[in-house]
Structure formats: C-alpha cells, structure tokens
Amino acid sequence: MYMSEADRTVEALDRRTLYQGYCRLNEYRLRHSLYGGGMSADITREVMERGHAVFVLPYDPVRDEVVMIEQFRIGPYVNGDQPWSLEIVAGMIEDGEALEDVVRREARGEAGIEVWNITYCLGFYASPGTTSEHFTIFCARTDTAAAGGIHGLAEEGEDILVIVMSFGEVMAALDNGRINCGPVIAALQWLALHRDEIRQRWLALYTYFYCE
C-alpha cells in the first residue's frame, strides 16, 4: 500500500541563499518520505523565490469584451520568440495586502480601468519543480467603453498597451497561439467554461442598478 497522507513528511536539513536580485535563488537540502516506505536520500534543490502573483481577467458582460494588455517580456526574447506578450492584468502581492486590493490596484495601474464583482477562478503554482511562486486568478466585471491607451509605471520600466477584444477575438487568439502565457491561457479557458453563467449573473446586476 502506498503511503497515506499522514505518512507524507519532509525533513528540512539546510537552506542558503545563492543569489539575491530581481528574484532570489535559494538552495534547499532535504529528505522526504517515499511511496514504498522509508525516507529518500538527502537531495539538493535550487528554488527561485519572488513572491506570489495575482491575475485578473477584466470582462464586460454588456459588450461581451475582454480587456487585454500587451508588453515586452524578457523570457520569450531570450528564447528567440516574439517578445511582445498578449496578457491580462497582473501584479505581485505586497506584504499584508488582500488579493482583491491587488486586483483593483493593478487594474488601475496597468489598464486604467475600474473593476467590480471580483470573482475567484483558480490558483496554481507557476512551475512547482523550480519556483515557489503561486498564481491566483480572478475574473472581474468592467466597462470597456473607455478602455485603451498606453499605461504602466515608467519608474518600473512598464510600457503597457491596453487592447479591448471581443470574446470571439480573444478565443481565436488563444486558439492560434498568439496568446502563449500560461496563466492567461488558464484564465481564458475558465472564462470559456463559465462565460454564460457569469454573463447572466452580471447582466442581471447591471440591469438592476442601471436600468431600473
């Protein structure tokens, strides 16, 4: 019989910081329980640690449109790919900050928009074999009527183009590979699964507050 949940243990033996810059690289030495019983030999793993991120997919249920952003990304560039990445609003969580506050802050800073009805979608690790970074994804209602332009903080090296896309257009960009950022793919797939439900719910709220 494979080990039970109660038998799963990790013995932390040592930790040291190898590098501290834009990201931190820590080295861990540890042992962990094995499926067949007993403990593993000592293993060493390097882990990139840079905090945790929140993503938000701003969706207008009235116009059936999504607010996307485009900006230069170093990862695709060094990999030889087209480096201007089509993404959604995102930001790092500051100490003690509520996730919904990150959503509102980044929606204003990166896209110049307000959001409401902030709805949790899913959470997952960016790459659990190499980094501790965890992503939390939300979908939120917005008004795309005035969305657009260039945004971002110059002091943080941000140069962000806001692009409003219809649901059909963004699904086509997902299908043809124009969108190739993992958390963005997850967010849009969530929207595709839940679009009818949230659109009905948010349109009912819109009608109640603005049309009565």
Q: Which residues pair with 163 in a beta bridge?
A: 68
Q: Which residues of 156-174 are buried (b: 16+ CB within 10 A; e: fewer)?
A: eeeebbbbbbebeebbebb
Catalytic position from the list 49, 65, 100, 156 = 156
| Location of structure tokens 């990862």 | 75
Rounded Cα distance between 173 and 147, Å, is 19
Rounded Cα distance between 163 and 195, Å, is 20
State yes or no: is 156 an active-site residue. yes
Active site residues per annotation: 156
